[in-house]
Structure 1
Amino acid sequence: MVQQRTGLADRARYWFDATLARGASALVGWLAVACLGVVVPASAILVWTDPQGPASVSSKLAAVWRLTGETLRLGGATGTPLRVLLSVLLALMALLYVSTLVGLITTGLTERLTALRRGRSTVLEQGHVVVLGWSEQVFTVVRELVAANANQRRGAVAVLADRDKTEMEEALSTKAGPTGRTRLICRSGPITDPAVLALTNPAAAGAVLVLPHDEPDADAEVVKTLLALRAVLPAEEAGPPVVAVVRDDRYRRAAVLAAGPHGTVLESDTVTARLIVQAARRPGLSLVHRELLDFAGDEFYCTFDPALAGCAFGDALLRYDTACVVGLVRDGAPVLNPPAGTVIRPDDQLVVVTRDDDTARLADCSALVDESAFATRRTVPVRPERVLLLGWNRRAPLMVEQLGRGAPPGSVVDVVAGRHETSVAQVRDIGACVGSGLTVTLREGDVARTETLEALDLDAYDSVIVLSQDPADGQGANEPDNRTLVTLLSLRHLQRTAAREPQLVTELTDDRNRPLAPVSPGADVIISGKLIGLLMAQISQNHHLAAVFEELFSAGGNQVHLFPAAEYVRPGAEASFATVVAAARVRGECAFGYRSHDPAATGPEHGLRINPDKAERRRWSEHDEVVVIGRG
């Protein structure tokens, strides 16, 4: 074997690298050599070129030494070798002292600045909202709280999480957007430590929100955080409203006990599963929920006017022109869509859908009703449902359970999932629990592969639900949505040749992927994290809404529906929205909006109008839908 000769430059470079590898002493030595290599020649040039310099060589060398010593702070004394050595020793001691002192001062200042960056001072705000924890939901919560404070003089949101304060501020500024009149305060530290939690001043807060993180122990940490909050608050009776979220029903009871009498605990998986099932049965329902939950449009408020005392609830439906009455609060408990003959008491409050808390004003709209435009009530035949479930996650059993409730006999849910996601035995056991009215089957396959979807008869299904993977199943933060987007792309391709297009409901985990989803405009897309964040923000502003949303998202009781407008007014008739409200009252429902399917209806609302003016007149088509609250 022929050995390649090593050049002198390579040897020198290797020797230099090996020298530096010896540690700090080698670095100090090389620094001294480099300094002397520059200072000594420069000092010699200055001495030898000085017209008034010493004449003899020895004197010149002494001058060079003095100039070098003064430059490097080595004393520069001349004389006997002992005198020079002592001078250098004293200079090195002085240098060591000064360097150590500067290091100590620098370390102290750095620690102080680090403490200030972490935000260790106590929040002095009053009536602010405290957000404990960090997840993707925090951006939605902060954004909605900022929107809720838009018409207020000032507001504050304090966020506490075990993250760097500067990183939190930058992330919130980027993803949550401008804060307007709301002051955003970040504090850093573990949310389960009462001493750190006290920095947010929760006793003076208007509400406290506890967010779960994405790790498996999220629910346990939520319970621990609620216990830490109880340790900080002076008394349960005087504490602020608390809104917390758990994923697993097993932790709900413990979380409720830890939250105390002012606490509201949401089950994110259950709420998400119910909304997905509702959207599968009533296309476009996710658009209505999005409009009701965010503060950008119309939402639920509680209001009352003394003039309505003694009035029947059915008459109150037409007593507001820019608000829609949908229920009342009696003895502190909301009641949605009570019987029309219910008499409103002086201590009751009305639950209305309106633009803001000051936009509900009395105006008698009964004269706008045209009863001649009422439609003749039709009987809609009940037929079995056929649902295709693509994918599997921890919420899938809850969805199958919800589909089984009230399903007409002969209904079918076909599940397509990978072998690692679920098993035939698990699906069979779930199907056995939902009753005999629903048949649940499993077909193994990768839903991201076009061949798997081509083998399915998509035309045979009434609705198709595409589920995202659990974050733990993916290879990264975006992996669950990546598979979902690929599946949607294949479905979109297959639907072009299908005889009819079934209702498509998509579950995503990241709201940033919503614009990337290849779905038709106005399709139902459920972003679970954003949905829960919107719910928490709404309840934090009005704790009565917790019971309102609990009933709306429940398996029974009053829910939001989209029914054909032909069941309320005659197709082709021109009538006011007050006429629709009166027609819904006859059916025992509270109408608060409509959706037009006119191709010209474009924009982010996709034809949806929530809380239109009662005097608004339009020609109603048989394709239009009316948004109501009532029993299905």
Structure 2
Amino acid sequence: MKNSWGKKFQYYFDYLFSLGPGVLIAALALFTVVLSLIATLILVVSRLSPGGEPPFDFIEGLWFTFLANLGEGSVAGRESVWTFRFITLGLTLASIFIVSNLIGIISNAISQKIENLRRGKSAVIESDHTVVLGWSEQVFTIIPQLFIAQEGKKNRKIVLLGNQDKVEMEDQLRNRIGSEAIEKVVCRSGSPIEMSDLELTNLNEASGILILTPEGENPDAEVIKSVLAITKGHDRKGRPYKIIASLKEKQNRALGKIVGGEEVEWIFSGQVIARLLAQSCNQPGLSVVYSELLDFTGDEIYFVEDAILIGRTYREALSTYQKGVVIGLQKGENVTLNPAMESIIRPADQLIVIASDEHGLIRGERAATRDEWIISNHTPPKNSENVIILGWSERGNELLRELNNYFQPKSKVCIVTDKFDLRPELEEISSELKNLKISFERKSILDRNELEMLKLHKYNHIILLSNDDQTLSIQQIDSNTLFTLLHVRHIIEATQAKPSIATEILDSRNSRLAEVAKADDFIVSDRLISLMMAQIVADRRRNAVYEDLFNPQGSEIYLKPACQYVKTGVAVNFYTILEAASRKGETAIGYRLSSLSEDVKRSFGVKINPDKREEVVFTEKDKIIVLAEK
């Protein structure tokens, strides 16, 4: 069936309107020119003119008809012939059509522009800005950290691209962070895997790009697609990007490195969380130490050169600064934490230090060390451990591998969950775990009676692992974890046992509730990864330090009894502690006072990078925080 001319005209007319205001204005201009030419030809050929005036030539006629089409001409007076009157009347009516449509098109274009601005669909022209891709709870941790990192840097903006309405994102930022967020954060709505949406953020001029882990199933796939969209974008320039992203699943590491190449610093979040849980269950307070090191409100890791120390040893460098702790050396691309004490510092070597900021190293007159108060011959006993894991998730197997790395042979681990029968899975992984004997009990960890049947007082360490049930929200999962924690605390308090308790929390807002429940350590998964990402985007060399810290083969952070280093009950300065630790091949970075272990405002007694001249009286329960080999 053939379409009529009317339908064809209607189709092309509708198509013209769909092309946007620019094409419509061009079409209207063409219509005006054609109509003016036709009217001019009629006037010139017919030698028509207003009454009493000579006939128009072509130029004068074209000018007259053009102005009439735009509403500037006038209808002919009484003296004009009727033919001229009809022509000018037609031009006047045409001018009404042309001008009204022109006003409508311009008004609609302005409305569309305002709507695009409201929806966050306009391009960003910022430079040297930080781009954050994605919208999740991580935003409310990362954005304040970036504010602190950018203090003193004028007009540095953060561009946030999220799959949310722009106004909604701005409202949440204002409510959760404050009005400062609206002043410093430019929000745009779009997908981090759509190249056209990514172009809105001006990636080519960005100083760094953070890809947040999306919520829902298979987040790693979305992160990898975002990296592909960024690195393969047709609008990119020659300058390499600085991208920070995280992957949860171990099997996706190789693919991530292939896709990202040298442009991406990867954080393998599943492994990091598993290692921190494994370390924390045996060392209460360790999670606080990491929070202090990763949070910009505390002390951070920096890389500095100090010409005065060239030719000196690492041991000598340890006591160079009154404020600021040396923790390692960077030689070329190689980062070494807690190197051999006699390592020589060469030209171009950089010190890895913990300081309040990049200018926070303070030299001072060294206070005397008291050799008679140093303990050199203490060898701690090596005992097997007895651990119970309440709950299970995809991080469970990685957690078992990490516990196997840290614990002595013949240690026992009991896993409790009612979600599914883990025995086939545990039998498969048991062959890898030479130091652990694994057992499984299928019980509800939310049921008080079933928890009491587990005889929790028998265990040295209790780990509460958040489950990864996709049918539950993050808040529901955290609620279940906190309910279990409250039950466990109450059961333990009725006995004389004092096991350590390490608890995984998913939402940082619930961490205060974990503090109320008096967890020895609470690991806030998303917050920890968010803090790491913010630190690395400020200086990507930090990622090598974190990889070393979380690597069982390198030096790690330990909280060891103060009585293994210095005499208790006497006032000692931190220079003495540094000397005591260095004699054991360790680097002291701080201490934890047990008397303040429940004081939130005093960081639960943890003090990183203390003034080395300040004297402290330690007790048997206090800890020295050191970098040491396992």
Tell me whether the two structures share a fold, i.e. TM-score over 0.5.
Answer: yes
| Corresponding position: 1:597 with 2:594 | yes
What is the DSSP-based 3-state SS (H/G/I as helix, E as strand, rest coil) of the residue aligned with 1:561? strand
Residue 585 of structure 2 aligns with which residue? 588
- Give the drift of 1:303: 1.2
8 A Cα contact 2:133 2:210, kept in partner: yes
Residue 403 of structure 2 aligns with which residue? 403
| Corresponding position: 1:493 with 2:490 | yes
Residue 22 of structure 2 aligns with which residue? none
Q: Hey, what's the Cα distance between the residues in 2 that align with 1:182 and 1:428?
A: 55
Residue 424 of structure 1 aligns with which residue? 423
What is the DSSP-based 3-state SS (H/G/I as helix, E as strand, rest coil) of the residue aligned with 1:472? coil
What is the DSSP-based 3-state SS (H/G/I as helix, E as strand, rest coil) of the residue aligned with 2:414? strand
Question: Residues 104 and 447 from structure 1, CA distance in 2 versus in 1: closer, same or farther, beyond 3 angstroms?
Answer: farther
The 5-angstrom pairing of residues 105-504 of structure 1 reads: 110-179=111-180, 183-232=184-233, 238-365=239-366, 367-418=367-418, 420-435=419-434, 437-474=435-472, 476-504=473-501
Question: Residues 488 and 246 from structure 1, CA distance in 2 versus in 1: closer, same or farther, beyond 3 angstroms?
Answer: same
| Corresponding position: 1:565 with 2:562 | yes
| Bigger mean CA offset, 239-248 vs 556-565 | 239-248
* 1:173-206 deviations in Å (ceiling 9; x for gaps): 2223453797211111121122221221112111
Question: Residues 406 and 515 from structure 1, CA distance in 2 versus in 1: closer, same or farther, beyond 3 angstroms?
Answer: closer
- Give the drift of 1:258: 1.9
8 A Cα contact 2:173 2:181, kept in partner: no
Residue 41 of structure 2 aligns with which residue? none
Q: Hey, what's the Cα distance between the residues in 2 that align with 1:361 and 1:134?
A: 40
Q: Hey, what's the Cα distance between the residues in 1 that align with 2:604 and 2:204?
A: 43
- Give the drift of 1:108: 5.3
Amino acid at match of 1:459: H
Identity score, percent = 34
The 5-angstrom pairing of residues 22-33 of structure 1 reads: none
TM-score, scaled to structure 1? 0.80
- Give the drift of 1:371: 1.5
- Give the drift of 1:535: 0.5
Amino acid at match of 2:624: V
* 1:114-142 deviations in Å (ceiling 9; x for gaps): 21112233322222111111221121111
Amino acid at match of 1:238: R
Aligned residues: 533
Q: From 539, 542, 554, give the equivalent of 1:542.
A: 539
8 A Cα contact 1:374 1:568, kept in partner: yes
- Give the drift of 1:486: 1.1
| Bigger mean CA offset, 154-163 vs 386-395 | 154-163
- Give the drift of 1:421: 3.6
Q: Hey, what's the Cα distance between the residues in 1 that align with 2:243 and 2:145?
A: 17
Amino acid at match of 2:146: L
Residue 10 of structure 1 aligns with which residue? none
- Give the drift of 1:105: 8.0
Question: Residues 100 and 198 from structure 1, CA distance in 2 versus in 1: closer, same or farther, beyond 3 angstroms?
Answer: closer
Amino acid at match of 1:610: I
Q: Hey, what's the Cα distance between the residues in 1 that align with 2:241 and 2:538?
A: 11
Amino acid at match of 1:463: H
Q: Hey, what's the Cα distance between the residues in 1 that align with 2:515 and 2:600?
A: 17
What is the DSSP-based 3-state SS (H/G/I as helix, E as strand, rest coil) of the residue aligned with 1:464? strand
| Bigger mean CA offset, 422-431 vs 290-299 | 422-431
| Bigger mean CA offset, 296-305 vs 225-234 | 225-234
Question: Residues 150 and 178 from structure 1, CA distance in 2 versus in 1: closer, same or farther, beyond 3 angstroms?
Answer: farther
Q: Hey, what's the Cα distance between the residues in 2 that align with 1:346 and 1:553?
A: 28
- Give the drift of 1:560: 0.6
Q: From 572, 576, 580, give the equivalent of 1:575.
A: 572
8 A Cα contact 1:465 1:506, kept in partner: yes
8 A Cα contact 1:446 1:452, kept in partner: yes
8 A Cα contact 2:118 2:166, kept in partner: yes
* 1:486-517 deviations in Å (ceiling 9; x for gaps): 11111121122112121001111111112223
Q: Hey, what's the Cα distance between the residues in 1 that align with 2:445 and 2:558?
A: 30
Residue 70 of structure 2 aligns with which residue? none
Unaligned runs of 5+ in 2: 1-98
8 A Cα contact 1:592 1:628, kept in partner: yes
Q: Hey, what's the Cα distance between the residues in 2 that align with 1:588 and 1:536?
A: 31
Residue 529 of structure 2 aligns with which residue? 532
Unaligned runs of 5+ in 1: 1-97
8 A Cα contact 1:415 1:443, kept in partner: yes
Question: Residues 533 and 218 from structure 1, CA distance in 2 versus in 1: closer, same or farther, beyond 3 angstroms?
Answer: same
The 5-angstrom pairing of residues 10-25 of structure 1 reads: none
8 A Cα contact 2:376 2:580, kept in partner: no
- Give the drift of 1:291: 0.3
* 1:320-350 deviations in Å (ceiling 9; x for gaps): 1110000111103321111111111120111
Q: Hey, what's the Cα distance between the residues in 1 that align with 2:587 and 2:250?
A: 32
- Give the drift of 1:428: 2.2
What is the DSSP-based 3-state SS (H/G/I as helix, E as strand, rest coil) of the residue aligned with 2:470? helix
Q: Hey, what's the Cα distance between the residues in 1 that align with 2:136 and 2:518?
A: 28
| Bigger mean CA offset, 121-130 vs 225-234 | 225-234
8 A Cα contact 1:392 1:421, kept in partner: no
Residue 8 of structure 2 aligns with which residue? none
Q: Hey, what's the Cα distance between the residues in 2 that align with 1:103 and 1:449?
A: 67
8 A Cα contact 2:389 2:462, kept in partner: yes
* 1:235-275 deviations in Å (ceiling 9; x for gaps): 79722321111111222222222222131111111111111
Q: Hey, what's the Cα distance between the residues in 2 that align with 1:176 and 1:352?
A: 30
- Give the drift of 1:394: 0.8
Amino acid at match of 2:221: A
Question: Residues 465 and 560 from structure 1, CA distance in 2 versus in 1: closer, same or farther, beyond 3 angstroms?
Answer: same
Q: Hey, what's the Cα distance between the residues in 2 that align with 1:233 and 1:292?
A: 39
- Give the drift of 1:542: 0.7
Give the CA RMSD over aligned residues. 2.5
8 A Cα contact 1:488 1:519, kept in partner: no
Amino acid at match of 2:408: P
Amino acid at match of 1:118: R
Q: Hey, what's the Cα distance between the residues in 2 that align with 1:601 and 1:321?
A: 28
Q: Hey, what's the Cα distance between the residues in 1 that align with 2:586 and 2:597?
A: 29
Q: Hey, what's the Cα distance between the residues in 1 that align with 2:428 and 2:533?
A: 34
What is the DSSP-based 3-state SS (H/G/I as helix, E as strand, rest coil) of the residue aligned with 1:123? coil
Amino acid at match of 2:491: L
